[in-house]
Chain A
């Protein structure tokens, strides 16, 4: 194979790679769109929202509604899941291991959401509305 043929082949492989990556739909806002592996181990649906309680006043009101929503909690519980909403500095030493693991995962910003159900999951910035958050969780129910 000539040098020119090798170069063409490399370009084609690169194009295919970029097209495949670019066609991957993002499950929501945030820089970590990968769904596998789950960010923390949980057989059932488990959702953790991490925030800074002293900064709640700086969050947009619609995003604050996500953290504060009873309907979101009910949405998760009705699906047989569990949900926790933790300050980033909460003392979780007495909590189940899955929540401790979830809390220890790296985050790029706050508030942050981690979802796990079996082998699938998500870790990323918290969506800005209750509906968008429900849509995101729906994918892993």
Chain B
């Protein structure tokens, strides 16, 4: 019998189920990556260069993950790590990579620390509330790191927060290894998720970047479970499932970055 994931707690979004406009009070901020300035695999981020896990293995591996409670969702549940809330800023492109770092820390057994997306987005954009893309955020995290929210509130666009103390603190929250995934390549994305590597995924149709954390086995295909950055009031406690495919409410992203090792601190 074909294994199908338990999605009783999920909101599965199919084309047409999500209004094309952004829900009132919520914001996005993804700007399509400038592929000439930041080409796939030839720019700052290293290309995905490992063997793809064959589709024939996906259902069995997902079944094992769910039985062993080894999905990234299970790590979030274990530590009480909830979705971020960009709260009206245009910093979705920083929220996704930041949440990847938060989850990677928990996965590595490090203490859970809530990190500030604005601590990278604001300096990158010269303290303007404007959009960007995932690779920009990743580069800043690699070079400078993230500040804890205790030191730099999650959505604070405030130049005074960039000081000697915060610059010293952010060195403890950097990324040292990462991949750039081939845009739209669902097999790359699923391979990372099957290996418990969170992926920041961006969608041009949505003008939005979110974080993919689990592979999901669906009736007749596969999907991904995402963490949005709209707080817990959206979707199923801030999460949703997209099915494989291109276009609105589909899973194949237009940009994907996958940080996989963070600083231990």
Q: Please state if B196 and A57 are interface contacts (CB–CB under 8 Å).
A: no
Contact of A90 with B176 at beta-carbon distance under 8 Å, contacts A73-B78, A85-B109 already known: yes
| A80-124 CB contacts (< 8 Å) to partner B | 82-87, 89-95, 99
A70→B109 CA distance, assembly (Å) = 10
Q: Please state if A71 and B68 are interface contacts (CB–CB under 8 Å).
A: yes
Contact of A70 with B70 at beta-carbon distance under 8 Å, contacts A53-B260, A57-B195, A94-B263 already known: yes
Q: Please state if A68 and B70 are interface contacts (CB–CB under 8 Å).
A: yes
Within the complex, what minimum Cβ distance (angstroms) separates A59 from chain B?
9
Q: Please state if A84 and B51 are interface contacts (CB–CB under 8 Å).
A: no
Residues from chain B with Cβ under 8 Å of A89 in the complex: 176-177, 261
Residues from chain B with Cβ under 8 Å of A95 in the complex: 264-265
Please name the residue on chain B nearest to A92 by beta carbon: B264
Please name the residue on chain A nearest to B107 by beta carbon: A85
A55→B57 CA distance, assembly (Å) = 17
Q: Please state if B264 and A99 are interface contacts (CB–CB under 8 Å).
A: yes
Query: Is B182 an interface residue, CB under 8 A from the partner?
Result: no
Within the complex, which residue of B60, B70, B171, B261 is in contact with A90, where a contact is CB–CB below 8 Å? B261
Interface size class of B (residues with CB under 8 A): 20 to 34
Please name the residue on chain A nearest to B57 by beta carbon: A61
Q: Please state if A54 and B65 are interface contacts (CB–CB under 8 Å).
A: no
A12→B193 CA distance, assembly (Å) = 59
A56→B194 CA distance, assembly (Å) = 10
Residues from chain A with Cβ under 8 Å of B174 in the complex: 91
Residues from chain B with Cβ under 8 Å of A132 in the complex: none
Query: Is B32 an interface residue, CB under 8 A from the partner?
Result: no
Within the complex, which residue of A57, A61, A85 is in contact with B50, where a contact is CB–CB below 8 Å? A57
Q: Please state if B263 and A91 are interface contacts (CB–CB under 8 Å).
A: yes
A55→B51 CA distance, assembly (Å) = 9
A70→B69 CA distance, assembly (Å) = 6
Q: A64-B195, A68-B65 are in contact. List 4 more A-B contacts (CB 8 A).
A: A55-B50, A56-B196, A85-B108, A94-B171
Interface residues of A (CB under 8 A from B): 53-58, 61, 64-65, 68-71, 73-74, 82-87, 89-95, 99, 130
24 contacts between A and B (CB under 8 A): A53-B260, A54-B50, A57-B50, A57-B191, A61-B61, A65-B64, A68-B70, A68-B196, A69-B70, A70-B70, A70-B74, A71-B68, A73-B109, A74-B78, A85-B107, A85-B108, A87-B261, A89-B177, A90-B264, A91-B176, A91-B264, A94-B171, A94-B263, A130-B68
Interface residues of B (CB under 8 A from A): 49-51, 53, 57, 60-61, 64-65, 68-70, 74-75, 78, 107-110, 171-172, 174, 176-177, 191, 195-197, 260-265
